[in-house]
Amino acid sequence: MATSERANFGSKIGIILASAGSAVGLGNIWRFPYLTGEDGGAAFILVYVCCVLFFGVPVMVAEFLIGRRSRANTGQAYDVLAPGTPWKWVGMMGVLAAFLILGYYGVVAGWTLEYTVASASGAFLGAKDFTAYFNDFVSNPWRPVVYMFLFMLLTHVIVVRGVKEGIERCSKVMMPLLLLIICVLVVCSLSLPGAADGLTFLLKPDFSKITGEVLLDAMGQTFFSMSVGMGCLCTYASYFTKDANLMKTAGSVALIDTSVAVLAGFVIFPAVFSVPGLSVDAGPGLVFVTLPNVFHLAFEGMPGLGYVFSLMFYVLLVLATLTSTISLHEVATAYLHERFGFSRRKAAIWVTSICTVLGVLCALSFGVLNGVRLGGMTLFDLSDFLTAKLMLPLGGMFISIFTGWYLDRRIVREEVTNGGRLRIPFFGFYIFLLKYVAPIGIASIFINELIR
Ligand code: TRP
């Protein structure tokens, strides 16, 4: 498709905020804190930051340059850069992953919406037993389905409006708001009695906690949280302007993504430590079961504050999640739109419908469909396993091999330096990371997940 017909982001800040919007999501505020809680706090965070620098950033730059060079969605980008080769399957796997991830991510997205509504109505803090609240809600035959569907509709409406008017505009409003809310929450949380223990947990590394498994958790989390490995950012980069600095953009996105994850830790752990008897290794329930207890107990004498704190927290989750679901939706929508010539609206309707069907199946797997298992996993767990644990690492590995070994070095240099206009000091080191460090590192996660 000719460059002039294709949508573009309008500004550099729009490019950074939209990409950061994709990256910052449930991965940062829900998944990162619970992994940090399970995997030993500060030591896990250190390992995670290394993974971001050595795997996350290089693969992100690779996705950016594939997308901007080809000016095509992930599903077709490899046909442009490597016509007639099997590399196209890397792109196709990305499109498939987008459908699958959105299907189960949409379920958790729906939970965040329900918790926001319940917080706002006051129904939430009235509940005493949050484990029961959570379990009743997720196993209900229709409520999680309705909220999942509402979230899909919200995503749909934004994607249909287009790249500049929908995605960029909404990221430009939501991302600053999100950063503001999280900073306010950090201050509130740090002022709770007992916050110091939470800080120690986050800042004082205990290196004996770093096991092989912790390393692998950190690597998997890096891909998931940075939205890399399936061409999500590749599709966004196909809308980048020619003057965007790819390295700098990736650096900024990585910095924002990691900061939000760590700040989420600063909101959650001081709060959890301020209530005696609550455990930091609550797993996926940390944000939906443990944290509500904090809102309830830590603010017992000041119900007004508890109300505001919980409402702000779940609004934060919704905002972060929405900018991520639109990026997943866009991958599939752009593919159907450009590959099959559907109008954007028609393509989006297809994506929303298919993901809603997948979402219903995943949502019900906590209740009526709980008995339907494949390899011992519910449909929800299966989707998470297939995508986060298999498809993303595999995709990330192929993307780094494609860029490091297959793609003409001249093309890589041209994209990274914008045709020689930018000076990139560590270009050789970047190529080294792409050729050796990333593929070998990623292959080891992947193999480990397979044999576990
Ligand atoms: N990165 C998002 C998060 O942290 C989720 C996400 C959006 C994603 N797009 C993606 C994950 C593409 C993997 C691939 O919540």
In this prediction, residue 212 has a pLDDT band, given cuts at 50, 70 and 90, of: confident
Q: How far is the CA of 263 from the centre of ligand 1 (A)?
A: 18
In this prediction, residue 403 has a pLDDT band, given cuts at 50, 70 and 90, of: very high
CA of 28, closest atom in ligand 1: 4
The number of domains in the chain is 1
Any domain includes 343: yes
pLDDT in tens, 341-400: 999 999 999 999 999 999 999 999 999 999 999 999 999 999 988 888 788 988 999 999
Cα separation, 172 vs 357, in Å, equals 30
Cα separation, 224 vs 388, in Å, equals 6
Cα separation, 20 vs 144, in Å, equals 27
Stretch 164-188: mean pLDDT:
92
Q: Which tokens is 4 given?
A: 């002039």
Which residues does ligand 1 sit against, CB inside 6 Å? 22-23, 25-28, 101, 224-225, 227, 229-230, 232, 324, 327-328, 392
Residue 374 phi/psi, 5-degree rounding, is -125, 125
Ligand 1 binding pocket mutation candidate from 63, 232, 330, 331 (most atoms within 8 A of CB): 232
Q: Which domain holds residue 150?
A: 12-451
Residue 377 phi/psi, 5-degree rounding, is -105, 145
What are the start-end ranges of the H helices in 283-388?
A: 291-297, 303-340, 344-364, 379-384
Whole-model pTM: value is: 0.94
Q: How far is the CA of 384 from the centre of ligand 1 (A)?
A: 12
Calculated CA dihedral for residues 179, 185, 190, 194, nearest 10 degrees? -140
| Residue of higher predicted confidence among 211 and 97 | 97
Q: What pLDDT is stored for residue 450 in this prediction?
A: 67
Any domain includes 3: no
pLDDT of 38 strictly over 50: yes
Cα 122 to Cα 116, 151, 269, 301: the distances in Å are 10, 21, 24, 16
In this prediction, residue 410 has a pLDDT band, given cuts at 50, 70 and 90, of: very high
Count CB-CB contacts under 10 A for residue 450.
10
**DSSP states of 86-121:** TTHHHHHHHHHHHHHHHHHHHHHHHHHHHHHHHHHH
Any domain includes 329: yes
Closest residue by Cα to residue 442 from 58, 26, 82, 42:
58
Stretch 25-51: mean pLDDT:
92
Q: What pLDDT is stored for residue 449 in this prediction?
A: 61
Cα separation, 216 vs 72, in Å, equals 32
CA of 233, closest atom in ligand 1: 12
Q: Which residues contact 314 (CB under 8 A, 6 or more apart)?
A: 112, 115, 116, 119
Beta-strand ranges (E) seen in 172-227 are none
Single-letter residue type at 349: I
pLDDT in tens, 425-452: 889 999 999 999 999 988 886 687 667 6
Q: How far is the CA of 193 from the centre of ligand 1 (A)?
A: 34
* Mean pLDDT for all residues in the chain: 91
In this prediction, residue 1 has a pLDDT band, given cuts at 50, 70 and 90, of: very low
Q: What pLDDT is stored for residue 385 in this prediction?
A: 84
CATH number at residue 128: 1.10.4160.10
pLDDT in tens, 63-112: 999 999 999 999 999 999 999 999 999 999 999 999 999 999 999 999 99
CA of 225, closest atom in ligand 1: 4
Q: What pLDDT is stored for residue 310 in this prediction?
A: 87
Q: Which tokens is 434 given?
A: 């792409």
pLDDT of 160 strictly over 80: yes
**Residue 302 burial by Cβ neighbours in a 10 Å radius (0-12, 13-18, 19+):** exposed
Q: What pLDDT is stored for residue 171 in this prediction?
A: 93
Cα separation, 58 vs 230, in Å, equals 14
Q: How far is the CA of 160 from the centre of ligand 1 (A)?
A: 20
pLDDT of 177 strictly over 80: yes
pLDDT in tens, 247-284: 999 999 999 999 999 999 999 999 888 888 888 887 77
Any domain includes 252: yes
Cα separation, 185 vs 326, in Å, equals 25
Paired with 374 in beta bridges are 377
CA angle 201, 56, 37 (to 5 degrees): 20
Any domain includes 385: yes
Q: How far is the CA of 38 from the centre of ligand 1 (A)?
A: 21
**HSE on the CB side for 336, CA within 13 Å?**
20
Closest residue by Cα to residue 290 from 37, 32, 45:
37
Any domain includes 1: no
Any domain includes 386: yes
Q: What pLDDT is stored for residue 309 in this prediction?
A: 84
Any domain includes 6: no
Cα 95 to Cα 197, 365, 392: the distances in Å are 44, 24, 12
Q: Which tokens is 174 given?
A: 């939501």
CA of 230, closest atom in ligand 1: 14
Q: How far is the CA of 180 from the centre of ligand 1 (A)?
A: 21
